[in-house]
Amino acid sequence: MAGTLQFLMSSAGIGEDADHTHVMAICLFVTLLCACIVLGHLLEENRWMNESITALILGFCTGIIVLVTSNGSSSHILQFNEELFFIYLLPPIIFNAGFQVKKKQFFQNFVAIMLFGVVGVFISFAIISAGSSFVFPKLGLGKLLIQDYLALGTIFSATDSVCTLQVLSQDDTPLLYSLVFGEGVVNDATSVVLFRAVQKLTFDDFTSMEVLQMSGSFFYLFFSSTVLGIATGLLSAYIIKTLYFARHSTDREIAIMTLMAYLSYILAELLFLSGILTVFFCGIVMSHYTWHNVTESSRVTTKHAFATMSFIAETFIFLYVGMDALDLDKWKMATTTVGQSFGLFSTLLVLILVGRAAFVFPLSALSNYMCKSANTKIGIRQQIIIWWAGLMRGAVSIALAFNQFTISGDAKNPEFAAAITTTIGVVLFSTVVFGMLTKPLIHWLLPPHLRSYISDTSDPPSPKDVNFINDFNVPLLLDSNQRGNSGFFSGIVSRHSSLGMLLAAPTSYIHDLWRSFDDSYMRPVFGGRGFVPYIPGSLTIAEEDEHHPSHF
């Protein structure tokens, strides 16, 4: 491939200009993406590999070939581009995560997820920052400031939710999936927010007042990002319910859903909030309301189109990271010796391992203590898997590292170059080595005959042949009597002591409360399940052609 490219580059006179180089890069990437998908399919049954690792390795090999054929000159074209990552690749992944997540399990484990995703990041951040600021100077890297060490702490606290999800199955291990996945999303958001907070710190007059301010702005960001996501999702549901009630137009519906989801992300970024959190909650709200207000064809299309977009973006990121590993300029600029590099690399790996262990086990115990219901208990084997599955570092780490240690792609000094190359090394190693070991580890710790016992949930796993629409139904513990009640609280504040219920099963109580509120106030305005009557077996895919014939 690269040989052909070089041939083309040299033979075509116009090939040298910037435009054509760009076309060539796109062509190379699209070809590699196709190759990844085909290879990923062929390797699907393989126990050690997954699509991320395939893409990473394929990208790495292509990087070598490009580097060799271009005599080291073209490594710079393929340099990691923060903007591309944060503005175009990350949003579809996180949105799809919110859109397809099983809401019931997510909210059932909400406490544990928040503990891991928020408190956990702070613990890991403290350990990695402290550890690296203690060890790095001894390895000869004296020029890093306290701010850089704090940045390193956040960079290596961001787990890679993309890769993690490929090894866990929502159907086989629902509790683990929900925990690790939920943590991944919240963790990404926390890391990015914390990273921004660290970058804004001024260390000249570092008072406790400032720490208080920082925590204040942190919670403000968390809260307002969530509210923005929910608001955008509800707006989309309202628009589609109001405008398209009588005459459905599939193309417009899909376009509105896609654009408003993206709008929530980009609006959050514009307002300096956390786009990741916003688009995640927007996805949840859209799957709960908007998705039920559209035609059958739109439902099928959005479900698969969003998943496909996310899939392509994921594969693209891993290809990109793989190709970017050979950023020769950085490697040349980092004046560290092999020993030093190895020291930095292994220090960080150890700190990541310790930093994650330091919060997974204590916080699991705390979560078990707080939530007494049997189906959210986290066993010791599961704790080990949670610890291990969150060790991988990915594109978020690289993006943050580039943001901290480069100015428009170029490292400022050898120390910064070393920080970048070490980050790339850690990401590659953790994704490939830790990633490869995850599936066997799960198999060893939770053999299939144990899974059904350990990872139980209150609802039976849905049979595979059931229509996928059931995934979105979320029966949510309500019986038909309660659903029939239309007055807020009427199903809850009944003869049963509500205080007693709160103490016995807080999650379930809050959930019932929400359910009543949803039925009484939200659904009448925003639609949602049951808005468009769905009769199984009578899919009328052609219905929108009737209403919108002129648009080809």
Within 260-279, the residues that bind a second copy by CB under 8 A are: 260, 262-263, 266-267, 269-272
State which of positions 188-227 bind a second copy (CB under 8 A).
Answer: none
- From the list 64, 84, 87, 111, which residue makes contact with a second copy (rule: CB under 8 A)? 87
Query: Smallest gap, in angstroms, from Cβ of residue 272 to a second copy?
Result: 7
Rounded (5°) CA angle 293-298-301:
140
Asked whether position 412 contacts a second copy by CB under 8 A, the answer is no
Beta-bridged to residue 406, according to DSSP, are 411
Q: Which is nearer to a second copy, 26 or 493 (CB)?
A: 26
- In this complex, which beta carbon is closest to a second copy, that of residue 144 or of residue 256? 256
For residue 78, the minimal CB distance to a second copy (Å) is 16
The pair of structure tokens assigned to 302 is 């959005």
Residues 421-440 that bind a second copy (CB under 8 A): none
Among the listed residues 81, 100, 217, 482, the single contact to a second copy using CB under 8 A: 100
Output phi, psi for 272, to 5 deg.
Answer: 60, 35
Determine if 20 is a binding residue for a second copy (CB under 8 A): yes
Place of tokens 């890069």: 25
Q: From the list 73, 169, 486, 494, which residue makes contact with a second copy (rule: CB under 8 A)?
A: 169
Q: Please tell me whether residue 297 binds a second copy under the rule CB under 8 A.
A: yes
Residue 524 · residue 488 · CB < 8 Å: no
Does 251 engage in binding with a second copy (CB under 8 A)?
yes
Of 449 and 464, nearer to a second copy (C-beta) is 464
Element (H, E) at 420: helix 414-429
Chain centroid to CA 148: 25
- Name the DSSP class of 393: B
- Cβ 508 to a second copy, closest distance in Å? 25
Please identify, using beta-carbon distances, which residue of 140 and 409 lies nearer to a second copy. Answer: 409
Query: Is 443 near a second copy (CB under 8 A)?
Result: no
* Greatest C-alpha distance within the chain: 84
The residue type of 111 is V
Q: Does 290 bind a second copy (CB under 8 A)?
A: no
10 binds a second copy (CB under 8 A): no
Of the candidates 189, 186, 187, 177, the one whose C-alpha atom is nearest the C-alpha of residue 101 is 177
Q: How far is the CB of 392 from a second copy (least distance, A)?
A: 16
If the CB atoms of residues 447 and 537 are measured against a second copy, the closer one turns out to be 537
d(CA 391, CA 235): 37
Distance in Å, CB of 389 to a second copy, minimum:
14
- If we measure between CA atoms, which residue out of 299, 242, 293 comes closest to residue 541? 299
With respect to a second copy, which residue has the nearer C-beta, 23 or 380? Answer: 23
Span interacting with a second copy, options 164-172, 427-435, 495-503, 509-517, rule CB under 8 A = 164-172
CB of 369 to a second copy, least distance (A): 30
Among 452, 467, 494, 497, binds a second copy (CB under 8 A): 467
Give 194-243 as a 3 state SS string: HHHHHHHCCCCCCCHHHHHHHHHHHHHHHHHHHHHHHHHHHHHHHHHHHH
Is residue 541 involved in binding a second copy (CB under 8 A)? Answer: yes
* Spatial contact of 179 and 109, defined as CB atoms under 8 Å apart: yes
Would you say 163 and 188 are in contact if contact means Cβ atoms under 8 Å apart? no
d(CA 526, CA 222): 24
403 phi/psi in degrees, rounded to 5: -65, -40
Rounded to a whole number of angstroms, the minimum distance from the CB of residue 221 to a second copy is 14
- Count Cβ atoms below 10 Å from residue 332 Cβ, excluding itself: 12
Which one, 246 or 338, has the nearer CB to a second copy? 246
Nearest CB to a second copy, comparing residues 38 and 450: 38
Contact flag: residue 460 with a second copy (CB under 8 A):
no
Cα 315 versus chain centre, distance: 13
Part of the chain binding a second copy (CB under 8 A), chosen from 24-32, 60-68, 142-150, 370-378: 24-32
Within 109-128, the residues that bind a second copy by CB under 8 A are: none
DSSP state of 474: -
CA distance 257 to 236: 7
**Could you report how far apart the first and last alpha carbons of the chain are, in Å?**
36
What is the nearest approach in angstroms of a second copy to the Cβ of residue 51?
Answer: 8
Question: Which 26-85 positions form the footprint of a second copy (CB under 8 A)?
Answer: 26-27, 30-31, 33-34, 37-38, 40-42, 83
Q: Does the footprint of a second copy cover residue 255 (CB under 8 A)?
A: yes
Assess 256 for contact with a second copy (CB under 8 A): yes
Cα separation, 399 vs 406, whole angstroms: 10
